[in-house]
Amino acid sequence: MKLSENARVVLERRYLKKDENGVCESPEDMLRRVADTIAAADTAYGEDASSTAQAFFDMMDSLKFLPNSPTLMNAGRELGQLSACFVLPVEDSMEGIFDSLKNAAMIHKSGGGTGFSFSRIRPAGASVNSTGGVASGPISFMKVFNASTEAVKQGGTRRGANMGILRVDHPDIMEFISCKSDLTQMTNFNISVGLTEKFMQAVAADKKYDLIDPHTKKKTGSLRAKDVYDTIVEMAWKSGEPGIVFLDRINKDNPVPAAGEIESTNPCGEQPLLPYESCNLGSLNLNAFVKNGAVDYDGLGETVELAVHFLDNVIDVNRYPLDIIAETTKRMRKIGLGVMGFADMLYQLGIPYNSEEAVKLGSDLMAFIRRRARRASEEMGLRRGSFPMFEQSVYKERGVKAMRNATVTTIAPTGTISIIAGTSSGIEPVFAISYIRNVMDNDKLVEVHPYFERYARANGFYSRELMQEIARKGTLHGIDEIPDDVQRVFVTAHDITPEYHIRMQSAFQKSTDNAVSKTVNFPSSATREDVRAAYDLAYELGLKGVTIYRDGSRQGQVLSVGTKKEEEPQAQGALAPRERPEITKGITQKIKIGCGNLYVTVNYDTKGICEVFTNVGRAGGCPSQSEATSRLVSMALRSGVDVNSIIEQLRGIRCHSTLRQKGLKVLSCPDAIGRVLERVVELRGGETETAAPNGSGAGKCPECASQMEHEGGCVVCRSCGYSKCG
């Protein structure tokens, strides 16, 4: 395997077998273990498992395809649980609720994530005939599920994750929409509102819609649809949740309506499933299918067919956590073949992500993948037999002769497996062209996207200082040294408008049987109207669900919720800096600048960093400007301005003197001050939790302190592979 050092670290920490002496298998050993285990299913059909095993190994070893994490971790090992996603029903009874809670704990223990619809539970205050009391409602039981998930740590390899869905016509919908307004609550849940066509029509017509008690099936009241929609938008703007799923649209694409109604999805929203159903996922690395400046459709098609064979075999060798899950899964035999590396493919092809050409390519690629995947599934159905409910399926109605799998395509988040493959995640744009990665001994490395680095070196504008500036800025835009055509192609997540995020998701959704996991990124300056426009466009373009994230929106305190308009800000007195303390502590750092040496002193007291002094060496420089900067920074710090915001403003400022000398570690005196401030913040363990300068807003990784990225309702660290949903 051609693995980066980062990929090897992730594999050793999270995937490879360990014994009392540590890691006891190589990445190649892992692939052989997985390939042999999955290929063994062939023997039951009279097929040659040995040749299949080699084909599976080669496909993974070339990094053209990787299965989901549980398959890599558990195939050929004692646990043997290979599925990533499950949906469990939550019945409207104490017995049913706690049966589901127990089953969820077993799934989490085995490394899977769970989705629930709480829509069957009667609303808070409804009567309970068996006790004569009143019901506590779905949100109270969600808190119980959340606490249970917190208690199950899944052996340190995968953390518990849940999706909680409530229909928009449930009487407790307003409480549900705001149940994560306190970001310390429901930390193990992603939540989404299940929207119906009737509701969306009421929003468009500005009418009321009915609330229905799921127990009695009777109307309990009505709400103005626009007010509910406004509240969903408000909360999503504030914290990224709730997401939305279009339930009627999902069920319209249900391949076997006779099997029941789909009411929930897996934790990241891309896999709608029936109660007690599971799905195994895998992803094609599109980045590996570029040949001579064009898409290698021949190679891609061959890999699609082999990947379908692989994922179908997983269903047979999987050790399911519950018998009923095994039975339900094998009735439908759903698989979810998706993609990763799309953004990297675009870089190779010289196509900007935010362009009509890219949207068309996404649509064409996914149409090709589904066409070949269905053909492979049909051929397997003829050879091995169709899925048991085929006779009641839409395929039978359409005259298809056989189909092995009820669904074949899903676009899942690929956080850690894309790190292993050394490529971009899912269909997401690249998060950063250059970023800072924390390594041992508090050292930092500047990681640069390989395609960009190669291009920059070949065209003579590569420098370590420029890469550091890009890492701080989070974008190439506005950097004079980088040619315009390069800026146009090498775009990152925050260079792309929400409209193009939605349009790209729609392009892939058109040929995806299940759904598409994607984060629609918004800048921190985005308005509520911007979020609403994205939701409206998602509905218009046929998406099955949407997850949005506004930069930095999860960095505040407990949020208040309401549909009333914000009051106008009241006039306040001018800020006044606190008194300078008599005694402070601090550090002084000597830094070489373009015109000599600069000595920067940063002091702090018990209340935080409070002042900065600068002194320019004998060689000259701009002492008056440095002193002015220091005084203003000191006043801002003692007035309560966030130190991280000050750092963000100072870092990256350039001085003409730095252009004359190579090897300098700073760009100017203000940049030097920002660097020393940043160093003091790190030494003190962090002043406050704020969004990173590059605009991720996802916080620091709890395991390696590198910056995390938002992906499909989760956060993932591309330095060490840590991920968490909820």
Which entry of 85, 179, 268, 720 is annotated as an active-site residue? 268
Query: Choosing from 6, 162, 266, 644, which is the catalytic residue?
Result: 266
Which CATH number does the domain housing residue 603 bear? Answer: 3.30.390
Amino acid at 618: R
Q: Are residues 333 and 360 in the same domain?
A: yes
Nearest to 439 by CA among 720, 27, 156: 720
Instruction: Provide the 8-state DSSP code for 400.
Output: -
- Kindly give the pairing relationship between strand 545-550 and strand 133-134: unpaired
Active site residue 270: yes
Examine the domain organization and report whether 310 and 449 are in the same domain: no
Pair (708, 626) in one structural domain: no
Domain that holds residue 456: 430-495+697-725
Tokens of 717: 């660290």
Q: Is 571 inside any structural domain?
A: no
Neighbouring C-beta atoms of residue 593, cutoff 10 Å? 25
Q: Please confirm, yes or no, whether 175 is among the known catalytic residues.
A: no
Q: Is residue 579 part of a domain?
A: no
How many CB atoms lie under 10 A from the CB of residue 363? 18
- Rounded to 10 deg, the angle between the 225-239 and 197-205 helix axes is 100
270 and 311 in a single domain? The answer is yes
- Joined tokens for residue 582: 């008599």
> Environment class of residue 685 by beta-carbon count within 10 Å: exposed (0-12), middle (13-18) or buried (19+)?
exposed
Domain co-membership, 526 together with 607: no
Tokens of 375: 């053909």
Are 481 and 504 in a shared domain?
no
For residue 371, being part of any structural domain is answered with yes
Which CATH number goes with the domain that contains 6? Answer: 3.20.70.20
Q: Looking at the DSSP assignment, which residues form a beta bridge with residue 34?
A: none
- 10 Å Cβ neighbour count for 167? 21
pLDDT of residue 550: 92
Q: Tell me if residue 189 falls in helix, strand or coil.
A: strand
Look-up of token digits 């930095």: 552
Query: 643 and 550 in one domain?
Result: no
Contact (Cβ atoms closer than 8 angstroms) between residue 636 and residue 650: no
- Type and span of the H or E element at 597: strand 596-605
Nearest residue to 535 via CA among 115, 225, 237, 248: 237
Instruction: Please state, in angstroms and rounded to a whole number, the distance separating the CA atoms of residues 717 and 10.
Output: 10
Catalytic residue among 234, 241, 263, 270: 270
pLDDT at residue 632, rounded to an integer: 92
Q: Is there a domain that residue 217 lies in?
A: yes
pLDDT at 717: 84
pTM, to two decimals: 0.82
Sequence-distant (≥ 6) Cβ neighbours of residue 319 within 8 angstroms:
79, 80, 81, 82
Closest CA to 283 of 33, 112, 68, 514: 68
392 within some domain = yes
Does one domain contain both 337 and 417?
yes
Q: Give the separation between CA 225 and CA 202, rounded to whole angstroms.
A: 6
Query: Does one domain contain both 229 and 282?
Result: yes
- Both tokens of 393, joined, read 């399926």
655 is catalytic: no
Same domain, 155 and 205: yes
- Residue 677 domain-assigned? yes
Given a cut of 50, the residues of the chain with pLDDT beneath it are: 154, 156, 440-442, 556-572, 687-695
Q: Do 325 and 297 reside in the same domain of the chain?
A: yes
Say if residues 310 and 68 touch (Cβ distance below 8 Å).
no
| Element (DSSP H or E) covering residue 451 | helix 450-458
Token pair belonging to 419: 């790190």
Among residues 540, 555, 570, which one ends one of the domains?
555
What are the tokens at 482?
């980088």
Whether 576 is in a domain gets the answer no
What is the number of domains present in the chain? 3
Q: Are the CB atoms for 630 and 614 separated by under 8 Å?
A: yes
In a domain, 184, yes or no: yes
Residues 464 and 539 in one domain: no
